[in-house]
Structure 1
């Protein structure tokens, strides 16, 4: 099709040139009107046929482009939905384990934990219908999730959120914060004498920074990458800039670009 785009203007140029030459040489056809009429008619016919062919080709090309884009969009949506569904089973499994421990230790805490779990899980199910969520909503969810973890770990874990109100209406993929916080909890030692601190802050230029101190459990290195790959894939499928990840040995930090509702970063 690209070759056609390069050639068909040249093809159209042939009959156009013939018509122009006929006009320029009109005086030479004074005694040969039949030749003039025949060449002009032939040039017009060729011009019409080539133009019609070119228009049909361009229309077909445009339709193929639209079909390809539609198929790509369906494929990307399928991949994105698949990524989102990977979150729930793991979260539910961990939560039920925590609830089982609490039931044996403190039934009142277990009941409160179950109520909070219902609220959190309801949000997680609802979030699957959205590709983007406001930071305000995500922070409300993550605070509820923090409450669950605080019930489970007590003073062995602590959280800090410092986000200016002007950032609350920005957007990011739903459950991104959950993945990062769960990764921190899953891969680090959490003890009263070695508390885990997770902070969420917003920079002046509209970046969300999630950070935790490092005191890693002896787990396989690639288990940490699964959650990070999930986040990177979701940002990529939504055509958003990739999160910036840094590990200086003391703290693990992920910087997330926030999308303005107008559609700009």
Structure 2
């Protein structure tokens, strides 16, 4: 994205108009007292045209050249030429309009360049400042649009991911016990409704998410029996009121633990969900399955990106005999 546009916008014209309206109220009366009405009007009109043209060149011609690497040298070479030409026009015009006969000396020329720079400097600063804030606003809008697009794509991945995994479980249960499969389907439908209901939500309350994961664990117990044991630890200082997480956070983390670690009814794999005031974590001992599991890492990566986009906070992942994921709890979200 370019830092400065190459042509003035309507708002730039409005800034120039307001500037000259204020300048006229301040400068014009002193001109009238010193030079009379006719010469004052002519001098003020000349000043407006010359200063506006100088600022136009600086903001819409010179600065865009400076922003281009290949044209930067050309732009720098134009500086002395611009200063000399603007100083000559300023002195010649005012000498003619105001009837002044000051000699053309290097000192007078330098003085003219400085005086003209002071004359158009305020207007130039105003337009450059406005251009900067316009640029920041455009960047902010572009970033917001990109963020919303990324977030929408991430959300779109969750439901199919959840659906695919649980349909596989349901298929396996149908082969084993149709009655259990029927009950599983009923519970699964309730969970899926939760996801659909919060599909467009950025956050859900931590209390609702904990209920959701309890129901999900119920389904897992039907599928795996006692091969996995689940423990929920809510620390005494934890306050669930006004605490939020991304929808399906705990379901994704529990699912990830089961997907990559083997459980055994004689030696169940403990999966611990810990809740405190600032974070929620899911941890388990690393016990890789005998047959490697194909994984794209979609669930965990998706969750990481959503927290980064929505809260500007990072999930923490630790691997040291145990695999633990710490998720930031969002407080006072509206």
1:209 corresponding residue in structure 2: 281
Contact 2:318-2:324 within 8 A present in 1 as well = yes
Q: How does 1:7-86 map to 2 (within 5 A)?
A: 55=126, 58-59=129-130, 61-86=132-157
Q: Distance in 2 between matches of 1:74 and 1:178?
A: 29
Q: Choose 1 or 2 for highest CA Rg.
A: 2
Contact 2:3-2:135 within 8 A present in 1 as well = no
Contact 2:4-2:131 within 8 A present in 1 as well = no
| Deviation of the 1:179 alpha carbon | 1.5
- Give CA-to-partner distance per residue, 1:60-111, whole Å, 9 cap, x none: 5444433332232222122112122222223222212222222232232222
Q: Distance in 1 between matches of 2:218 and 2:127?
A: 62
1:238 corresponding residue in structure 2: 310
- Aligned pairs, number: 251
Q: How does 1:156-171 map to 2 (within 5 A)?
A: 156-163=227-234, 166-171=239-244
Q: Distance in 2 between matches of 1:176 and 1:118?
A: 18
Query: What TM-score does the superposition give when structure 1 sets the normalisation length?
Result: 0.75
Q: Distance in 2 between matches of 1:262 and 1:113?
A: 34
Q: How does 1:144-163 map to 2 (within 5 A)?
A: 144-163=215-234
Q: Distance in 2 between matches of 1:231 and 1:262?
A: 18
What RMSD in Å do the two structures reach over aligned CA positions? 4.1
Q: How does 1:112-127 map to 2 (within 5 A)?
A: 112-127=183-198
Corresponding residue to 1:95 among 135, 141, 166: 166
Gapped regions of structure 1 (runs ≥ 5): 5-11, 24-28
SS state at 2:314 partner: coil
Q: Distance in 2 between matches of 1:99 and 1:44?
A: 79
- Give CA-to-partner distance per residue, 1:21-48, whole Å, 9 cap, x none: xx8xxxxx79x99999987876677678
Moved over 4 A (4+): 1-4, 32-61, 218-222
Contact 2:231-2:273 within 8 A present in 1 as well = yes
Gapped regions of structure 2 (runs ≥ 5): 6-18, 56-121
1:180 corresponding residue in structure 2: 253
Q: Distance in 2 between matches of 1:67 and 1:219?
A: 51
SS state at 1:86 partner: helix
Corresponding residue to 1:110 among 178, 181, 185: 181
Range with bigger deviation, 211-220 or 92-101: 211-220
SS state at 1:161 partner: strand
SS state at 1:241 partner: coil
Q: Distance in 1 between matches of 2:270 and 2:242?
A: 26
| Deviation of the 1:58 alpha carbon | 4.4
Contact 1:187-1:219 within 8 A present in 2 as well = no
Residues 1:159 and 1:3: Cα distance change in structure 2 (over 3 Å): same
Q: Distance in 2 between matches of 1:224 and 1:54?
A: 53
Query: What TM-score does the superposition give when structure 2 sets the normalisation length?
Result: 0.61
SS state at 2:266 partner: coil
Q: Distance in 2 between matches of 1:180 and 1:132?
A: 16
| Deviation of the 1:121 alpha carbon | 0.8
